[in-house]
Chain A
Amino acid sequence: MTGAPVPTSRAGLAERQAELVAALVAGGPPPPGFAPGPLAATRAALLRKRAGDVARHWPLLAAGLGARWTTTFAGWAARRPTAGSLRDGWDLARALHADGALPPVAAEELAVREARLRYDGLRSPRPRRLPAVGRAGGAVAVQIAGRVRLLRPAPRVSTLAGDGVSDAAGSALWISD
């Protein structure tokens, strides 16, 4: 116990609720008087819950990361408040893709989503009206009149070096643990 003082200010309930949520999901400072252990446990529990929700929307992203799904998601999401499970998973998939760290099945899932929906990273994804191609990690999906087909699967580990993805990224990612 740090002996943190019980708040003496008359901050209203709304403001104090906002402080608690910010501390739990947005990296805000711990509100005065809260015990740090339970606060940390709550933060971790919220991230696990959120990881489960995102995994339901992005099953191949979660499956591709396997045993590392929860920690990967939690590391990415710890200071990012949720934008909803669809967008959270999409943002994470794009971030992993940018780092060359998106598993092949997850790349295929992302390519299919990119072909189906337009997502600017800021607002809710919307269906594309025109034919479109989605690409991610070598996977290619096309959408015509709302129907999406995966034209080319993402290459698996053995061919990735040839596609210019570093061995380090490959070994860090695809060796299951």
Chain B
Amino acid sequence: MTGPTGVGIGWRPEIAGFVAELPGLRFVEVVAEGVSASGPLPSGLTQLRERAVTVVPHGVRLSLGSAEPVDPARVAHLAAVAQRLDAPLVSEHIAFVRAGGLEAGHLLPLPRSREAVDAVCANVARAQAELPVPIALEPIAALVDWPDDELDEADFLTEILDRTGALLLLDVANVHANARNRGADPLALLDRLPLERVAYAHVAGGAEHCGFYHDTHTDPVPPAVLELVGALCARRRPPALLLERDGHYPPAAELRAELDALAAAAGYPAVT
């Protein structure tokens, strides 16, 4: 088990062939809920494991930020997937995805309140008690803010990481999106985050719609996000950076160029 290193890409069935042919690839991430805990693994993932490529399960439905306790069955699934993939760590979000019996369908932000910090720390502790490996927590991109935030983003995240001992999965595109949509300085946030706790970073594309920057994962990575990758690496380079692409897949040459641009921005070897 080696921790993620270098430039990676989010493994998705639609681009499994493309990913399989990246000669320098050492690291992918897979959506944990898409992997069976006991049935056959997708053949593409099996082949990557045979090449000793690190596969990190990335949960999207745990809802660690819910006021209610995290569902033990979902934690057990994540733990089983981590074991199957011999993963060095797992990752999830500081977010909630359901409440009052309704599924939101995507990641929603928490109020930056003491009560929410307590709720998320309790759920992370419940998950950590069952997981065979460390967990990295990812701050999300949010368009909406709660009206009664008590903490700013840096204090909120730092307190959660300090209290849980979790690693940080820093999504550079989310930092860009949140700053852009609030007229804030993304570098000011980078300067206040515990960058020594970053297990790896996410990088993704997005687009402007109706006055908001949306972290779509279906558009090219904009230059501003790549510049922010450079600024992050100048402060403290994460051990690994991962390109997330979830749809509207471009031709292979374009996806390779995005991976190369990410490697260049971070000063890591190209994986293509």
Contacts and interface: CB of A to CB of B under 8 A. Distances in A.
Interface of A: 4, 6-7, 12-22, 24-26, 32-35, 37-39, 41-42, 44-46, 49-50, 52-53, 81-82
Interface residues of B, number: 35
Would you call the interface of chain B mostly helix, strand, loop, or mixed?
loop
A39 B102 contact: no
Contacts of B101: 18
A17 B100 contact: yes
Residue from B66, B119, B147 having most chain A Cβ neighbours under 10 A: B147
B103 A18 contact: no
Interface of B: 66-68, 96, 98-106, 108, 111, 113, 115-116, 119, 142-148, 181, 209-212, 214, 218, 246-247
B174 to A, nearest CB: 13
A4 B146 CA distance: 13
Contacts of A41: 143-144, 209-212
Contacts of B212: 38, 41
B169 to A, nearest CB: 20
A33 B147 contact: yes
A171 B103 CA distance: 36
Nearest to B116: A13
30 contacts: A6-B148, A7-B147, A13-B67, A13-B111, A13-B115, A17-B96, A18-B99, A18-B100, A20-B99, A21-B98, A21-B102, A22-B102, A24-B104, A25-B102, A25-B104, A26-B102, A33-B148, A34-B144, A35-B144, A38-B145, A38-B212, A41-B210, A41-B212, A42-B143, A42-B144, A44-B209, A45-B106, A46-B104, A81-B103, A82-B103
A111 to B, nearest CB: 25
A33 B211 CA distance: 21
Given A14-B100, A21-B98, 7 more contacts: A12-B67, A13-B116, A21-B104, A24-B104, A24-B108, A25-B102, A41-B211
